[in-house]
Amino acid sequence: MNKNTATYQTTCSYCGVGCGIEIEKDPKGKLKLKGEETYPVNRGMLCSKGRTLNYVVEEQQDRLLYPQMRWSRNHELQRVDWDTAIKRGAAVFRSLIDRFGPDSVGMYVSGQCLTEEYYIANKLTKGFWGTNNIDTNSRLCMSSAVAGYAKTVGEDTVPIAYEDIELADTFFITGANPAWCHPILFRRIEQHKENNPDVKLIVADPRKTQTAALADIYLPLRPGTDTALHHALGRILIEEGYLDVDFIEKHVQGYEAYRDQVMQYTLEQYATTCDLDPMLIVKAARMMGESEGFLTMWTMGLNQSAQGTDKNLSLLALNLITGQIGKPGAGPFSLTGQPNAMGGREVGGMASLLAAHRDLMNPDHRQEVADFWGVPEISPNPGYTATQMFEALDRGDMKAIWIVCTNPMVSLPDTALVERALKKARFVIVQDISGRSDTVAFADLVLPAAGWLEKEGTMTNSERRISYLPKVVDAPGEALPDLEILLRFAKQMGYHGFDYQNAEEVFLEYTRLTKGTNIDIEGLTYAILQEKRSVQWPFNKVTQEGTTRLFTDHQFYTADGKAKLHVGANKGHSDMLTEDYPLVLTTGRIRDQWHTMTRTGKVNRLSKHIDKPFLEIHPEDAARRGIKEGSIVVIRNDRGEVQVNATLSDKIRKGVVFLPMHWGKILSSAFARTNNLTSRNIDPVSKEPDFKYSAVEVTLY
Ligand code: SF4
């Protein structure tokens, strides 16, 4: 290594696994990257996406380099300086708030944002604009898990640590394909299973994914029947005496109602609902019941559902009735999608939250935060969530939106509505790093942001691990860190309380707001994070240690300290299958692409795995429609259509078809956008959209 080569440790900016990366920067600025050998998350490993992150930083052709603005929708965007851009944006938001009230504007942010950016975006909207209209694309990702945890253990809390993977003897992975979507964690499961042949894996999924290929028991359930499967498993665990009676008596509320609920139906009835062999369910339940350490792992397959909260509650129940929580190798483990979805929720980054897990609906919590920020009050009005914001723009109830680091024209359900909403909005700000975002075309003001390695801040991964990300290179052109843009905007609007010297001052302010809460990180500094590399919250400022595992004392974050079993939350409606639309469309990710491909799409080697959008369909469903391998097909419903090539596979259930969610108009065509077809049905509690269940028909082109 050249003696002038500098070395940095940072965290991968793609998924919630949060792998450690070591960067070498040579004197010419060239970057070399590898997995950080000593980082406890990945132990030197990186997946295909993480291994190519340096190309994303170095390849800059797509980058937004300077602010752009247009005076009306009849004009093209034109380059302007930062001063002009910030003055115009601030003036428009000020005049809309004055004229139509604070709820006429909103901000839509991202699980990619750093914690400090999230915190300031919340402070600006909830504290100073006076509206709770700030939501994040984490709404599309983890909000059903958040609702499940909050109702069960009292707060949005992932109790386990990744080291529990090597301590567990049984895994139940449902509604997730970590082999592709959380590869490093799955690699740890694979290695653990290789080293310990008695370790068991149960996988439930309508598609026999690469994760399912490793399963000892594979449950190819009918889409949407997850709660029935969880109840069936609960029933067998009760009937066959696998309960931890002592744990339930001392630490769980609501067991009798839960038992009565799951006993309402016979095993055969559950099996018919799920279209599963009843004996497979029995075998899976026995495997769980006999386990010493049992981890449940799930993600979008359960969360992205109009019944997502119910699915989470019924799954969490399995850990509670068996006492498999708060001990090594056991517990519920929601696999977070985005790298800082958890950090964002911690600072209150959703329409329904306040910082440090405070509840927006609690007047005392609102006043605490208002006093801390030095503002008279936080509005008691619930804010619009992600899909609701675009519906409000469409109705004219919201007039302007500021979109930060996310691409709703590709990622939100029902693209036709999103497009209509953006066209009807009086003012749209898009703040992003890339011009490859389909949403940029709808902006009145484009603000170029710095990306990964071009700014500093912190993130929290899905085991509550907070890490510090240093600035390594300068941002191209005039791009600025998102935090700097937010602060300039707030100051231009004349608000006090936004005079920070650097990102750490923002972080330290947030840590003070956590004092005395369950996620207390008071006393944590950038210096401590740089020295320790990472800390799992809560952090003890006296010992300067984090917390590996929660609930080891079996005291949950509820008023009486007991966890709660729930039956039958409010269920939302999914599409009905009809003669015209008889197939269930489910959507998801592929191994080597990330979200709407604004970064991974520019790395050639990542396209070698799968280079274009496709429809996966069972050979019998295809034959009935005259579809062959590679045929161009039209997938259609009343909301829109998608045209792609068909891939025939007997690994997907009959009656179900799959589309990857990545491609948009810029990277393919308007007819490749999967969300042309998905519905705005949402879970009534979590408000998470129903991406995994849309009724469609497929025909030859
Ligand atoms: Fe990055 Fe996730 Fe891959 Fe780790 S598993 S390298 S965090 S994308």
Enumerate the domain spans of the chain: 6-58, 68-140+339-525, 159-334, 583-700
Residue 520 tokens read as 């207390």
pLDDT at residue 498, as a whole number: 98
Cα(381) to ligand 1 centroid in Å equals: 38
| Average pLDDT estimate for 479-500 | 97
pLDDT at residue 323, as a whole number: 98
Hey, which residues does 105 pair with through a beta bridge? 400
For the full predicted model, state whether its pTM sits above 0.95: yes
Nearest CA to ligand 1 atom 3: 47
pLDDT at residue 1, as a whole number: 59
Crossing angle between the packed helical segments 386-395 and 415-424, to the nearest 10 degrees: 50
Helix (H, G, I), strand (E, B) or coil at 445: strand
pLDDT at 349 over 90: no
Cα(184) to ligand 1 centroid in Å equals: 6
pLDDT at residue 453, as a whole number: 97
What pLDDT band is residue 460 in, cutting at 50, 70 and 90? very high
Domain 159-334 shares a fold with domain 583-700: no
ipTM: 1.00
Chain segment 208-220, per-residue pLDDT in tens: 999 999 999 999 9
The owner of tokens 């519905």 is 679
Q: How far apart are CA 174 and CA 296, in angstroms?
A: 8
How does the average pLDDT of the chain come out, rounded? Answer: 96
Q: Is the CB of 16 under 6 A from ligand 1?
A: no
| Average pLDDT estimate for 609-614 | 94
Q: Is the CB of 165 under 6 A from ligand 1?
A: no
CATH architecture of 6-58: 2-Layer Sandwich (3.30)
Residue pair 366/360 in contact (Cβ under 8 Å)? The answer is yes
Question: Cβ-count burial of 204 within 10 angstroms (0-12 exposed, 13-18 middle, 19+ buried)?
Answer: buried
pLDDT at 337 over 90: no
Residue pair 682/688 in contact (Cβ under 8 Å)? The answer is yes
Residue-wise DSSP of 292-354: SSEEEEE-HHHHSSTTHHHHHHHHHHHHHHTT-SSSTT-EEEE--SSTTHHHHHHTT-STTEE
Topology (CATH) of 159-334: Dimethylsulfoxide Reductase; domain 2 (3.40.228)
Choice from 21, 184, 186 to test ligand 1 binding pocket (greatest atom count within 8 A of CB): 184
Q: Which amino acid is at 249?
A: E
pLDDT at 3 over 90: no
| Average pLDDT estimate for 674-691 | 97
| Average pLDDT estimate for 669-680 | 93
Strands 640-648, 614-617: pairing is parallel
| Average pLDDT estimate for 551-579 | 93
pLDDT at 2 over 80: no
pLDDT at residue 4, as a whole number: 82
Residue 394 tokens read as 């469409």
Choice from 10, 13, 15 to test ligand 1 binding pocket (greatest atom count within 8 A of CB): 15
pLDDT at residue 668, as a whole number: 84
Residue pair 8/472 in contact (Cβ under 8 Å)? The answer is yes
Q: Is the CB of 15 under 6 A from ligand 1?
A: yes
Q: Is the CB of 183 under 6 A from ligand 1?
A: yes
pLDDT at 571 over 90: no
What pLDDT band is residue 465 in, cutting at 50, 70 and 90? very high
Which range, of 8-17, 458-467, 629-638, 666-675, averages the lowest pLDDT? 666-675
| Average pLDDT estimate for 460-468 | 97
pLDDT at residue 667, as a whole number: 83
Q: How far apart are CA 115 and CA 110, in angstroms?
A: 11
Nearest CA to ligand 1 atom 4: 19
Q: What are the helix (H) ranges across 350-426?
A: 363-373, 386-395, 408-411, 415-424
Chain segment 111-129, per-residue pLDDT in tens: 999 999 999 999 999 999 9
Chain segment 269-284, per-residue pLDDT in tens: 999 999 999 999 999 9
pLDDT at 345 over 90: no
pLDDT at 570 over 90: no
Residue 77 tokens read as 């965007």
CATH of domain 583-700: 2.40.40.20
Residue pair 616/609 in contact (Cβ under 8 Å)? The answer is no
Chain segment 287-333, per-residue pLDDT in tens: 999 999 999 999 999 999 999 999 999 999 999 999 999 999 999 99
Q: Is the CB of 50 under 6 A from ligand 1?
A: yes
pLDDT at 501 over 90: yes
pLDDT at residue 569, as a whole number: 63
The candidate with the shortest Cα–Cα distance to 120, out of 535, 540, 505, 575, is 505
Q: How far apart are CA 287 and CA 316, in angstroms?
A: 17
pLDDT at 145 over 90: yes
Q: What percent of the chain has pLDDT over 70?
A: 99
pLDDT at 538 over 80: yes
pLDDT at residue 568, as a whole number: 72
Select the CATH number that applies to the domain covering 68-140+339-525 from these four: 3.40.50.740, 3.90.120.10, 3.40.50.300, 3.30.1360.120.
Answer: 3.40.50.740
Choice from 22, 47, 335, 460 to test ligand 1 binding pocket (greatest atom count within 8 A of CB): 47
Q: How far apart are CA 261 and CA 357, in angstroms?
A: 30
Q: How far apart are CA 186 and CA 682, in angstroms?
A: 29
What pLDDT band is residue 578 in, cutting at 50, 70 and 90? very high
Q: φ, ψ for residue 170 (rounded to 5)?
A: -140, 135
Q: What are the helix (H) ranges across 397-535?
A: 408-411, 415-424, 482-492, 503-513, 526-532
pLDDT at 559 over 90: yes
Interacting residues of 83 by C-beta distance below 8 A, sequence separation 6+? none
pLDDT at residue 641, as a whole number: 96
